[in-house]
Structure 1
Amino acid sequence: MSTTALSPTARQLWLRSRWFLLGTVVLLLGGLLVAGLNNSPSYPALDPRSPDADGTLAAVQLLRDRGVTVTTTADPSALAATPAGDDTVVVPLPDLLSDDQLDALARAGHRRLVLISPGPQALYRLATGVQTFGPDDPPVTVASASAPGDCTLAEAQRAGTAEGGGRLYQVASGATGCYPRLGHPTLVRTTGPVGGEVIVLGSGRFLSNQRLAQDGNASLALGVLGAQPHLTWFLPDYAAAEAAAGPQQKSFVQLIPDGWKWALVQLALAALLAMAWRARRLGPVVPENLPVVVRAAETTEGRGRLYQQAKARGRAADALRRATRQRLAALLAVPVRHGEPDRDALAAALAARLADGRAPGELAGLLHGPPPTDDAALLRLADDLDALERQVRQP
């Protein structure tokens, strides 16, 4: 007595589970890829550590190549503690500092202080004789574009045409305005409250990696930032700026956490893999014998009832006439073209075969006439066609 093993073989297990394993591998690889992308460092605009298009790493590297020592700090108190010797301090968005921090920075008396996009609060405490142009809420700004220096500042004369934009300023006597846009300077040189030189920039876009090679931007950047042997770059807290701006209206998509977005992507991928797996399991179409045999008479009766229910008298009459024409053409040896006998030839053959004296036009009207208007007319037509066929078979 032979026995048959019921446990699946290794090949059967592989065929059953290969798509699950493939889906698991794809999900793991996708998760590792997403994790790797999310771990890439991201920097804000004008960050001296950023190699992105809006970063300033290229300018910092040029300064270091020329012997300038560049350091960064995120502590506002460290700016005031920096020795006020041969140094330059760069402060993007100085309005993020508190009044006490601005006052301490003013008292430090650095040799050169570079302010990027300062507002009224920072200008009042750090830049003598400089004010913003127009209202400050919202501030008046212009897009950065090439502009001539149009001033006596040595750095601007060496650079020539460079990119100016951002905030516009008004200057009093004793301050030098450069790169005017709409009649107002976007770069201003003035003095601080306790001495020292202050450079006010309406925008730092000309310092970015993407724009540094345009016009005289590189020369202007080296002149403004590399005048002293040591440079300290302040890294502001941009989160404080967003908090100061107040709550902003967010869309529904922005309110969805990033984790849920990636989860939806993974679920969609899993659904596609499951669809592909189940589609293969359906296999090719297999012909199958019908469980019962339906008689032709029952099929004809069922189709007739459907015609009756739909009141399709015209289609029923066409079916009756077409079948009669084909049978009569076979009996009378009338040639058939494209599935239909010639109308005139069939009528002439019928008139010659019948002895009741009916004209070919009358016979053609019976075989090709208009549709019946009611059920009684349809029944009369069926009877007339049946009688015509009997007469031809038994003349």
Structure 2
Amino acid sequence: MTTAAPTLSTTPRHLWTRSRGPLLALLLLVISGLVLAALQSGEHHGRLDPRSADRSGSRALAQLLAAHGVSIQVATTAEEAAAAAGPGTTLLISDPDVLTTSQLTGLHTATAHTSGRTVLLAPGLSALEAFAPGVQLVPPTRNAPRRPTCSLPEARRAGNALLGGLRYVTSADGADRCYTSGGRPTLLRLPAPPSGRDTVLLGSADFLYNQHLAAHGNASLALQLLGAHKHLIWYLPSVSDPSSAPDNERGFLDLIPSGWRWALLQLALAAVCAALWRARRLGPLVHERLPVTVPAAETTEGHARLYEQANARDRASAVLRSATRTRLAPLIGVPPAHTHTPDILLPAIHAHLGSAPDAGTDLHALLFGPAPTDDRALVRLADQLDALESSIVSQERHAPREHPDR
């Protein structure tokens, strides 16, 4: 007997069975993202962001400034900050080290001849060269509550405050050196030149955070430094700022010497020609004999093991029933077109069995029933199909036939 080869067609049910796990995981991921987006819509998260209520945000300070009549404008680009920093304004640069030299120069040029104040938080060497030339940088110290130890009115009224970080040294006359550590100030105020603005250098911005604002005199110092004018420009630099790209930025091709460009072009053309020469040509299928002959029993056993590993009892039972129906149809006189039609195949089997022991068997459940629920039921199904086929084959062998000469 020959077994029918399993078909390779994929039904929608099989597609759903295979893909429902990844689809459900993707659905849960999308739903979680939508829920998080809905919960966080309208909220801002970021260090020193006046709209952020996080521990390192500055929303509490922004609300205090607004309560004292100070309007705050958040700027995210250097051009926006330079345009908004007009006369009588305070410009706060929260992270000056992110800015390029051209950005720092542009901001200083735009604000050099206007009245107001510029506050830099932990500025490095490049920011000091642009806004405070002549000021030297000293290694940082830890943040701790410190006494003002200076004559700056804002610091004397605030009292102790959480200062530290970078320290600055200058020989400029009239500079206020406050909250010193080791004799070096962590708050340095440079007086305003004629028709200009004063500059405040802060070694650390921790006292502006939401989590530290209520401690010591942090809130008082922040309100006085940033609320000296009625309009505050809160500049949040970002590396995504289009103007942050260096002016002398060079592309990949600019790094290749001019003499090598033609060589690279020739190598690329040679590689394309070699690929076209060695590419596999598509042609008609060629039938060739296999190097070895695989017995049918080994093939059947291999299929069975694959079905067992995949727990594909539905697929295995469908193959067994289809093969049985295909072998029984010519024995009982059913045309090939109706091999898998229950309304034609089952009555023919009943008529052929007659009063045989298997006549009472539920043939519909046996040949067209649901998939077995476990391996034991699958084995029992295979035995029942084999018994049914054996009973019909035995009847065909022992059936009386007329002699052709009679």
Q: Give the TM-score of the pair, scaled to structure 2.
A: 0.49
Report what 2:184 is aligned to: 184
Q: What residue identity is the alignment partner of 1:185? A: P
Counterpart residue number, 2:160: 161
Deviations 1:256-300 (A, max 9, x none): xxxxxxxxxxxxxxxxxxxxxx8xxx999x9xxxxxxxxxxxxxx
Q: Secondary structure at the match of 1:221?
A: helix
Deviation at 1:55, TM superposition (A): 1.0
Which residue is equivalent to 1:349?
A: none
Call closer, same or farther: CA 1:67–1:178 in 2, change over 3 Å. Answer: same
Letter matched to residue 151 of structure 1: C
Quote the residue 2:53 is aligned against.
51
1:128–1:190: 8 Å Cα contact kept in structure 2?
A: no
Counterpart position of 1:149: 148
- Deviation at residue 125 of structure 1 after TM alignment: 3.0
Amino acid at match of 1:117: A
Note if contact 1:129-1:190 (Cα within 8 Å) is conserved in structure 2: no
Instruction: Sort the Cα spacing of 1:54 and 1:162 in 2 relative to 1 into closer, same or farther, 3 A.
Output: same
The superposition leaves residues 99-136 of structure 1 with CA deviations (integer Å, 9 ceiling, x where unpaired) of 53144134243311111111223223323653212xxx
Counterpart check, 1:104 vs 2:104: no
**3-state SS of the aligned residue for 1:122?**
helix
Contact kept in structure 2, 1:179 and 1:186, CA below 8 Å? yes
- What percent identity do the matched residue pairs reach? 37
Which letter maps to 2:131?
L
Shift in alpha-carbon separation, 1:128–1:191, aligned structure 2, 3 A = farther
Give 5+ residue unaligned stretches, structure 2: 1-15, 247-310, 312-371, 377-406
Matches within 5 A, 1:1-395: 28-37=27-36, 40=40, 43-82=45-84, 84-95=86-97, 96-97=99-100, 98=102, 99-127=104-132, 130-133=135-138, 140-172=139-171, 173-192=173-192, 195-239=196-240
Q: How many residues matched? A: 239
Structure 1 57/108 Cα, relative in aligned 2: closer, same or farther at 3 Å? Answer: farther
Give the Å deviation of 1:207. Answer: 0.4
CA contact (8 A) 1:144 1:163 kept: yes
Q: In 2 relative to 1, CA 149–114 (structure 1 residues): closer, same or farther, beyond 3 Å?
A: same
Superposed displacement of residue 149, structure 1:
1.3
Deviation, 1:50, is 1.6
> What's the Cα RMSD here?
3.9
Partner secondary structure for residue 228 of structure 1: coil
Partner of 2:356: none
Cα distance in 2, alignment partners of residues 107 and 242 from structure 1: 21
| Structure 1: stretches of 5+ with no match in the other structure | 1-16, 134-139, 245-277, 287-395
More deviation, 79-88/68-77: 79-88
CA distance in 1: counterparts of 2:110 and 2:231, whole angstroms: 17
TM-score by length of 1: 0.51
Which of structures 1 and 2 has the bigger CA Rg? 1
Maintained 8 Å contact 1:106/1:192: no
Structure 1: how far apart are the matches of 2:59 and 2:48?
8
After superposition, the Cα gap between the structure-2 partners of 1:82 and 1:46, relative to the gap in structure 1 and judged at 3 Å, is: same
1:143 Cα offset (Å): 2.9
In structure 2, the residue corresponding to 1:227 is in which secondary structure? coil
* Mapped partners of 1:79, 1:71: distance in 2: 9
Q: Tell me the distance in 2 between the aligned counterparts of 1:145 and 1:242.
A: 34
Per-residue displacement from partner, 1:181-200 (whole Å, max 9, x unpaired)?
23311111113455322111
> Does structure 1 retain, via aligned residues, the 8 Å contact 2:116–2:197?
yes
Query: Which deviates more, 179-188 or 79-88?
Result: 79-88
